[in-house]
């Protein structure tokens, strides 16, 4: 990986938010092997101060997916290992140390959509568009998209995107569940950072439950899910920080829920 292809910095008063930015704008942030391994390494070696992260892409596009110039070099076995490398890297992100907020703009396509769908929150600006051009390139998703994208939008919509090359714009993407937030052009990063700073203020065990336990409960049969939920609820509420937060509310020291 060229070190110029990714940027890492810490933000917030306590350096509690990591900003990770793909900086390969000339190639529309297309992901080569070095870049996917760099993403893995950053999530594996996150500094202890960090409580949330923002994932951004430099330039007009979030990410154009797999670097297609590397695809030509692989045989079938290498293809399996390559896909498994993406899986391992995006597992480090999804089941990593902190919640991750993606700041989407421009192209979120192919592996770029696979990368975005491994994040916990997606903020899209008005310029965002989503596609899975693998279908028209004669290939298949390989970065975990076949598992994660149907969980966001359903198998039927993903099938359509790949069979027909359908491109979703920012508004329709938010409507079908590709992003949780839709914001004006040029403001996705600011919104993502504001959300990350807010998330960083949550009790760490709550954030852990939401990123590591909730998706696993969602994949369990209901009776097992209820039991896992009960275990997680008991662990979370027994933490001293949870007790203090509840006490603060009861004593009028904590914010009420406000109508938006």
* 8 A C-beta contact, residue 168 and residue 178: yes
Is 170 a binder of ligand 1HE (CB under 6 A)?
Answer: no
Please enumerate in sequence order all residues whose Cβ is within 8 A of that of 220, keeping only pairs 6 or more positions apart, or say none.
228
Is 135 a binder of ligand 1HE (CB under 6 A)?
Answer: no
What per-residue string of b and e applies to 76-106 under the rule 16 or more CB within 10 Å gives b? Answer: eeeeeebeebbbebbebbbebbbbbbbbbbb
251 as an active site residue: the answer is: no
DSSP-derived pairing of the beta strands 52-57 and 17-22 = parallel
What per-residue string of b and e applies to 179-217 under the rule 16 or more CB within 10 Å gives b? Answer: bebbbeeeebbebbbebbbebbebeebbbbbebebeeeb
Please enumerate in sequence order all residues whose Cβ is within 8 A of that of 252, keeping only pairs 6 or more positions apart, or say none.
none
Show the tokens assigned to 56: 């951004």
Is 109 a binder of ligand 1HE (CB under 6 A)?
Answer: yes
Is 143 a binder of ligand 1HE (CB under 6 A)?
Answer: yes
The only residue of 107, 149, 162, 213 in contact with ligand 1HE, by rule CB under 6 A: 107
In the complex with ligand 1HE, which residue's Cβ is closer, 53 or 141?
Answer: 141
Is 57 a binder of ligand 1HE (CB under 6 A)?
Answer: no
Question: How many residues sit in the footprint of ligand 1HE (CB under 6 A)?
Answer: 23
- Binding mask of the shown chain, residues 23 to 42, with x at each position contacting ligand 1HE by CB under 6 A: ----xx-x------------
Is 68 a binder of ligand 1HE (CB under 6 A)?
Answer: yes
Determine which one of 114, 229, 241, 251 is catalytic.
114
Please enumerate in sequence order all residues whose Cβ is within 8 A of that of 134, keeping only pairs 6 or more positions apart, or say none.
110, 140, 141, 162
> Residue 124 forms beta bridges with which residues?
104, 182
Is 105 a binder of ligand 1HE (CB under 6 A)?
Answer: no
What is the closest distance, in whole angstroms, from the C-beta atom of residue 163 to ligand 1HE in the complex? 15
In the complex with ligand 1HE, which residue's Cβ is closer, 81 or 234?
Answer: 81
Please enumerate in sequence order all residues whose Cβ is within 8 A of that of 14, keeping only pairs 6 or more positions apart, or say none.
49
In the complex with ligand 1HE, which residue's Cβ is closer, 104 or 197?
Answer: 104
> What is the distance between the alpha carbons of residues 127 and 170, in angstroms, rounded to a whole number?
6
Is 108 a binder of ligand 1HE (CB under 6 A)?
Answer: no
114 as an active site residue: the answer is: yes
What is the closest distance, in whole angstroms, from the C-beta atom of residue 183 to ligand 1HE in the complex? 21
Is 64 a binder of ligand 1HE (CB under 6 A)?
Answer: yes
In the complex with ligand 1HE, which residue's Cβ is closer, 36 or 52?
Answer: 36
Show the tokens assigned to 93: 């992100």
Binding site for ligand 1HE (CB under 6 A): 27-28, 30, 61, 64-69, 86, 107, 109-111, 114, 133-134, 137, 139, 141-143
Give the residue numbers annotated as catalytic, written as ranges: 114, 134
């Amino acid at each position: 990986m060229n070190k110029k292809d990714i940027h890492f910095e810490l933000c917030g008063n306590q350096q509690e938010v990591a900003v990770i930015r793909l900086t390969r704008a000339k190639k529309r942030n297309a992901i080569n092997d070095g870049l996917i391994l760099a993403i893995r390494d950053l999530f594996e070696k996150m500094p202890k101060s960090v409580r949330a992260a923002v994932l951004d892409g430099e330039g007009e596009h979030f990410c154009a997916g797999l670097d297609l110039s590397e695809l030509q070099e692989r045989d079938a076995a290498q293809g399996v290992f390559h896909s498994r490398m993406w899986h391992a890297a995006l597992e480090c992100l999804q089941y990593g140390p902190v919640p991750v907020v993606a700041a989407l703009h421009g192209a979120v396509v192919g592996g770029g959509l696979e990368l975005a769908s491994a994040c916990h929150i997606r903020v899209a600006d008005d310029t965002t568009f989503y596609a899975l051009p693998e279908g028209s390139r004669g290939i298949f998703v390989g970065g975990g998209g076949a598992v994660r994208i149907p969980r966001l939008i359903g198998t039927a919509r993903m099938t359509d995107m790949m069979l027909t090359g359908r491109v979703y714009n920012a508004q329709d993407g938010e409507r079908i569940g590709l992003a949780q937030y839709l914001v004006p052009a040029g403001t996705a990063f600011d919104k993502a950072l504001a959300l990350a700073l807010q998330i960083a203020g949550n009790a760490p065990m709550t954030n852990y439950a939401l990123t590591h336990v909730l998706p696993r409960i969602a994949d369990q049969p209901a009776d097992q899910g209820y039991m896992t939920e009960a275990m997680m609820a008991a662990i979370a509420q027994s933490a001293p920080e949870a007790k203090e937060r509840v006490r603060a509310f009861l004593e009028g020291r904590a914010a009420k829920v406000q109508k938006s």
